[in-house]
Amino acid sequence: MPLKEIQERVDSWIRQYKLGYFKPFESLARLTEEVGELAREINHLYGPKKKKSTEDVKELSDEIADVLFAITCLANSLNIDLDESFNKMMHKIENRDENRWEKK
């Protein structure tokens, strides 16, 4: 699914509710929450932490999708075009940073 379509699908979902988009600080808090859940999952799967027996182990990929959703909400609420931002960033690292690390 293209980023544009992702932004539109999230927008359609949010626009049906009165609540609407969060304000920037609230969106950021939501993103922080989701990154925290991703951290917990990574600790479960790759770390030394003993799982609590009552805890459901959610899939890591679900947590990544939640982070992606939080980022899309923030971008939508600020009229940021993810495709454009992503292309600009990739263009930069594909060119300016080209020799920052040792090539194969």
List residues near its own copies by CB under 8 A.
Answer: 1-3, 6, 9-10, 13, 15-19, 22-26, 28-40, 42-43, 45-50, 52, 60-62, 64-69, 71, 74-75, 78, 80-90, 93-94, 100-104
Output 86-92 pairs: Cβ under 8 A, ≥24 positions apart.
Answer: 86/3
Q: Are 41 and 63 within 8 A, CB to CB? A: yes
| Least gap, CB of 29 to its own copies (angstroms) | 5
Q: If DSSP codes are grouped into helix, strand and coil, which group holds residue 51?
A: coil
| Least gap, CB of 57 to its own copies (angstroms) | 14
